[in-house]
């Protein structure tokens, strides 16, 4: 359903829906909670280490990349589960590809941190 809100009302409702999505994903997904905790632990480290501004930005952005990809994966899983609980090859493929995207973002983050800090 398309929103009829415009201007600041649209911005208000978009922000509200985003917060609902964050709360919902936090409540239903252990991976989201784990990645937020990892982000909360690693973010201060990324701000304290002596690196250039560009390197600091890469450290921080790589942390948020994992969180963003996990949110998208959670959305994919929710849509697939909404369609039906019976096994379908394409449903499994969608979930597997979403999971692979999360893995790729985790590997990217690990590589960025390793390259910059060592």
50 assigned to a ligand binding site = no
Q: Which of 50, 55, 70, 89 is catalytic?
A: 70
Q: Cα dihedral sign for 88, 70, 17, 5? A: negative
113 assigned to a ligand binding site = no
- State yes or no: is 89 an active-site residue: no
101 assigned to a ligand binding site = no
23 assigned to a ligand binding site = yes
25 assigned to a ligand binding site = yes
16 assigned to a ligand binding site = yes
82 assigned to a ligand binding site = no
CA 80 to chain centre: 18
Distance CA 54, CA 56 (A): 5
CA 2 to chain centre: 25
Give 114's contacts (C-beta < 8 A, 6+ positions apart): none
Specify whether the CB–CB gap between 58 and 98 falls below 8 A.
no
- Give binding residues for substrate as ranges: 10, 14-19, 23-26, 31-35, 56, 70, 99
- Give binding residues for ATP as ranges: 10, 17, 29, 77, 86-88, 95-96
Q: Which residue numbers are catalytic?
A: 70
- Give binding residues as ranges: 10, 14-19, 23-26, 29, 31-35, 56, 70, 77, 86-88, 95-96, 99
- Give binding residues for a divalent metal cation as ranges: 29, 77
């Amino acid at each position: 359903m398309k929103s009829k809100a415009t201007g600041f009302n649209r911005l208000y409702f978009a922000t509200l829906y985003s917060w609902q999505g964050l709360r919902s994903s936090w409540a239903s997904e252990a991976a989201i909670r784990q990645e937020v905790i990892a982000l909360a632990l690693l973010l201060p480290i990324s701000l304290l280490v002596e690196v250039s501004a560009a390197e600091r930005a890469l450290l921080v952005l790589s942390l948020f990349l994992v969180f963003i990809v996990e949110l998208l994966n959670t959305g994919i899983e929710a849509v697939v589960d909404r369609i039906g609980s019976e096994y379908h090859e394409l449903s499994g493929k969608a979930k597997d590809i979403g999971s692979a995207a999360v893995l790729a973002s985790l590997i990217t983050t690990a590589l960025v941190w390793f390259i910059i800090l060592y």
